[in-house]
Amino acid sequence: MEMPLVLSRFSFQFQNLPEVMLLPLVVMLLQTGSGHGSLPFYNGFYYDGLMNDKGLLNGVRLMVETSDDAISTQRGANVTLPCHYHYAPKLDAPRRIRIKWSKLREDNSKDRDVLVASGRNHRSFGEFRGRTHLQQESSDEASLVINDLRLDDAGKYRCEVIDGLEDESGTVDLELQGVVFPYQSPHGRYKLNFHEAKKICEDQDAVIASFDQLFQAWLDGLDWCNAGWLIDGTAQYPITIPREPCGGHHLQPGIRSYGERHKNLHRFDVFCFSSALKGTVYYLDHKKKFTLEEAKQACQDDQAEIAKVGQLYSAWKFLDLDRCDSGWLADGSVRYPITSPRPNCGPPETGVRSFGFPQIGKFGVYCYKMS
């Protein structure tokens, strides 16, 4: 009996056959195919005769090359993420291709569209609109240029080249040179859910840190015994000197992790990340001390604004700001930066010292002025 085979989008349809015969028949068909050793190519439709026996479209393979090394820069800079493509074997005439750049999310949710281009037409999306374009100095280039880098631009990007039925891609890591700092709510330890933590970092001219950023900070010596949120929804903390309250003496130095936590129900501190400044942070030399409101006004009178925590950390990290005078910051905390430890200026390590969030008392003030 002849067995009619109907090729649809993704089905073999057999007529008048009992179920017990289906499996052997399918195996037989997979082995014999149509006389060429395999079934026609399928990616939602069948394309018989377009593929060779190596799975290449018309015998040509599209290849995409990106940088193996991370691209490292600072906030406010312009950067080029390299991406090139070619065909093997080389084509005699160019093909019309489509290029798509996207940014991968730390929590493995849907990628963020950055830019798509086809021929002379291109479109940028969201916060990348007006800041991105393709660099195509040669016919095989599809590099992405991002201007005026922002804190949340750091991460992994995918360059995707689409030629009809073929789709190849590569990834590029973009790193921002910056500083990670722990932040605790004015109301005390472990008071922030994930969404509150994310906003509180943004309020301090920072973003919630990634694991890679925290890991680099740990390599640079950050030691903190309170768990804090990271952008991937985990709660972790860095330990360089193992001790009993911080996981115990028996553990090696490293990043301690509570794993992924519920973003609404669980509460921790947070690790924030900031990068280079577009202005200057300075201690306002004044003959008097201030309340918080007086401090804000004093900075305004000096054609500036009261500095944020992320700005003070950036000035300490990148501008070597060193001042042994405590001063108000915008969040109501009192801190001071030390790059050259000395007597009467806190511990023997460099860092930003904190007096917490005083409810009473008068202090100096740190101001921020745009360049």
pLDDT at residue 5, as a whole number: 34
Token pair recorded at residue 120 = 């002379």
Confidence at 92, pLDDT banded by 50, 70, 90: confident
Distance CA 272, CA 187 (A): 18
The mean-pLDDT minimum among 54-63, 319-328, 348-357 falls in 54-63
Confidence at 39, pLDDT banded by 50, 70, 90: very low
pLDDT at residue 146, as a whole number: 98
What is the rounded average pLDDT of the residues 97-126?
Answer: 92
Is residue 200 within 8 A of residue 294, CB to CB? The reply is no
Q: What Å distances lie between residue 62 and 31, 75, 128, CA to CA?
A: 29, 34, 28
pLDDT at residue 58, as a whole number: 63
Distance CA 258, CA 247 (A): 11
Distance CA 85, CA 60 (A): 13
Distance CA 131, CA 142 (A): 16
Mean pLDDT of the chain: 86
Token pair recorded at residue 115 = 């830019």
Token pair recorded at residue 150 = 């922002």
Token pair recorded at residue 60 = 């040509």
pLDDT > 90? residue 108: no
The per-residue b/e assignment along 42-78, b for 16 or more CB within 10 angstroms, e otherwise, is eeeeeeeeebeeeeebeeeebebebbeeebebbbeee
pLDDT at residue 57, as a whole number: 55
- What's the CA dihedral at 37, 39, 43, 48 to 10 degrees? 90
Distance CA 308, CA 29 (A): 69
Q: Bigger pLDDT: 51 or 166?
A: 166
Q: Bigger pLDDT: 106 or 25?
A: 106
Residues 6+ apart with CB under 8 A from 94: 139
Contacts of residues 151-156 at CB distance under 8 Å and 24 or more positions apart, as own/partner, are 151/75, 151/176, 151/178, 151/206, 151/207, 151/273, 151/274, 151/275, 152/127, 152/207, 154/210, 154/213, 154/273, 155/103, 155/104, 155/105, 155/106, 155/210, 156/103, 156/104
pLDDT > 90? residue 109: no
Token pair recorded at residue 299 = 């900075």
pLDDT > 90? residue 212: yes
pLDDT > 80? residue 327: yes
- Per residue in 235-286, pLDDT tens? 999 999 999 999 888 899 999 999 999 999 999 999 999 999 999 999 999 9
pLDDT at residue 32, as a whole number: 41
pLDDT > 90? residue 189: yes
pLDDT > 80? residue 44: no
Distance CA 264, CA 247 (A): 25
By CB neighbour count within 10 A (0-12 exposed, 13-18 middle, 19+ buried), where does 314 fall?
Answer: buried
- Per residue in 282-321, pLDDT tens? 999 999 999 999 999 999 999 999 999 999 999 999 999 9
What is the rounded average pLDDT of the residues 92-117?
Answer: 89
Is residue 299 within 8 A of residue 258, CB to CB? The reply is no
